[in-house]
Chains A and B, each alone.
Chain A
Amino acid sequence: MKKGKPERLIIDGKRLDGRDLEEFREMEAKIKVIKSADGSAMFRFGNTIAIAAVYGPRPMFPKHLQNPERAVINLRYNMVPFSTEDRVRPGVSRRSIEISKILKEAIAETVFTEEFPRTVIDIYIEMIQADGTTRCAALNAASLALADAGVPMKDLIAACSAGKVDGHIVLDVNGKEDNYGEVDMPVAMIPRENKVVLLQMDGLLTKEEFEKCLQLAKKGCMQVYKLQKECIKNTYKQIAEGDENV
């Protein structure tokens, strides 16, 4: 058994951080957080904080990497060294390479890359704090940053996690639950079209449990999506109203 595992993670229907089973941690979304980027955003689930910056579309060099038919999407997911309890060694890891790959593939589904042949769109994501559900926060921030950069997209991507903890199906798995719980299942969707563009799952689930998780994640994604839309709307409203602090 893993050291440090609490005896119970859910007590009287409440999770250790006080949440109900199907309750999100506090969520926060913000765009235009990095001045130098073409688009940028921050997305937060409780203590999990992602910052994304988008540069491009811009001509790709060296030339032999260009795709004559579409923009190439380049995505880098990175953990800040002090984002977790055990310091993360700087540089790429096998984990960050895999996550960068699946995030890139999910993002590519929404971008009209064919409008920008021979260019590259760079998406850089920094996990400032990591407390579970990091790749979902990363994807939410990246999608907002793309929107902020004005990159033509079919729709936003919204992501959240479902999971199984102490036998219960829960929404928005935090770090402790991920570490000591039974199942973590990150899901990303294009919510309006009901399309699942990212899906991973680790741990044991029956078919029924899987379907329940998926349902719950789907509902969660709709909530995330709503927050993302509001964030964009509010920001542009503030800009229209001349708020300099945006």
Chain B
Amino acid sequence: MIHLVKLLEAALFASPRPVPVEELTALASEASPAEIASALDALRVHYDVDGHGVELAEIGGGWQILTRAEYTGAIERAQLAARPQRLSAAALETLAIIAYRQPIGRMEVEEIRGVAVGSILKSLQERALIDVVGRAEGLGRPLLYGTTPLFLEQFALRHLEELPRADELAIALRPAPQPL
């Protein structure tokens, strides 16, 4: 590959979005637009003829290097198999509150976290980390949530009492005293 082609390859690789030709000319002021165009063409041909896992594509007025479609399925499957997902900070906080305060209703969790948690509860339930364990007394008999055996398994705990600093949290997360 000639220098200009290598420079374009590096730039397209490092850019977070498709790069229009005008911006590519800023890379090499000595190169004419025609030279840039022919270098792009050389890169495209190199990827196609030489047999690469990637290809050069023109998208939305710009140029971008993309993985070839035939490999995307295998890549996604490998990611799922090898790269475990992590919970978001919000989901972890919700999970922690439920772990230490169960059984607990959605409104109490929202009081502590200060934000709505409806969708988080749903996704934690889909992941089988929490489940509905009953209904509270009182108006509307709201659902109460608790952690599942899978939750204990995830943290290698035998039972809930093994959670560290339970005493501190029990105090901090105590329900507010009822008005008389």
Tell me, yes or no, whether A binds B.
no
Give A residues with C-beta under 8 Å from B: none
